[in-house]
């Protein structure tokens, strides 16, 4: 029996791609390069700062150069964290219904606490999350099982009684690693290289409210 639903953040609950893309384009401008169109940025938005920097500057950057650009990207994103970020349509209705049914909900994201500590309270969630685990909360990020186990420990619900919802392969891996039922959201951020049909999610959904059919 499912007693809690835990979610990834970027590309699952919140559409953060435009603000992430704006930070990347500001970084490109600082480096004298042309901006990238949103259509190229959105599919990579779940791949973190490193993935976005590689999109803009290439995957074969020297390590020092990559780290410098990554740090600068994070500073630029931090300066305009939520200019265009919104919840996906149906998310708040889903969360309200989960609460009505007596189910806990929470967030497990690879986003740094530096961002989640400010962004999550700002987002207009109908009910506050019971737990928030960021990418650096326990020193390792998904797909490592530790963030998942930390979250379930915080809410006092066994992993097998939890459902994990995300849009990336690491989300499905992380949930499966601890025995959670896994859900892939088809509105998330997928690159051309992604093969979500091979990730082994238990369920995939096209709209947040479809999740209710599986509880």
Q: What phi and psi, each to the nearest 5 degrees, are found at residue 113?
A: -55, -30
Residue of 10, 15, 167, 171 marked active site: 10
Instruction: In whole angstroms, give the CA distance from residue 5 to residue 215.
Output: 9
To the query of whether residue 60 is one of the catalytic residues in this protein, the response is no
Residue 97 in contact with residue 124, Cβ under 8 Å?
no
CA 2, 175, 171, 206 torsion: positive or negative?
negative
Give the tokens for residue 209: 């409210």
Instruction: In whole angstroms, give the CA distance from residue 37 to residue 80.
Output: 18
Instruction: Kindly report the number of other CB atoms within 10 A of residue 181's CB atom.
Output: 20
Residue 4 in contact with residue 161, Cβ under 8 Å?
yes
Q: What phi and psi, each to the nearest 5 degrees, are found at residue 204?
A: -130, 145
To the query of whether residue 15 is one of the catalytic residues in this protein, the response is no
Secondary structure (DSSP) of 51-80: HHHHHHH-TT--HHHHHHHHHHHHHHHHHT
Strands 14-15 and 86-87: antiparallel
Neighbouring-strand partners of residue 14 = 10, 87
Residues belonging to the active site: 8, 10
């Amino acid at each position: 029996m499912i007693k809690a639903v835990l979610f990834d953040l970027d590309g699952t609950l919140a559409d953060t791609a435009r603000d992430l893309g704006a930070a990347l384009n500001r970084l490109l401008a600082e480096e004298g390069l042309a901006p990238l169109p949103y259509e190229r940025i959105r599919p990579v938005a779940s791949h973190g700062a490193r993935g976005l920097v590689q999109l803009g500057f290439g995957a074969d950057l020297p390590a020092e150069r990559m780290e410098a650009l990554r740090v600068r990207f994070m500073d630029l994103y931090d300066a305009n964290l939520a200019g265009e970020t919104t919840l996906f349509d149906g998310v708040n209705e889903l969360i309200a219904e989960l609460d009505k049914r007596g189910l806990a909900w929470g967030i497990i994201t690879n986003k740094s606490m530096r961002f989640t500590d400010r962004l999550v309270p700002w987002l207009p969630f109908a009910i506050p999350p019971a737990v928030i685990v960021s990418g650096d909360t326990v020193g390792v990020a998904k797909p490592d099982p530790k963030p998942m186990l930390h979250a379930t420990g915080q809410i006092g619900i066994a992993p097998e009684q939890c459902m994990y919802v995300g849009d990336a392969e690491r989300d499905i891996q992380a949930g499966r690693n601890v025995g959670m039922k896994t859900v892939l959201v088809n509105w998330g951020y997928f690159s051309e290289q992604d093969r979500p049909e091979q990730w082994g999610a238990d369920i995939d959904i096209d709209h947040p409210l479809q999740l209710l059919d599986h509880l």
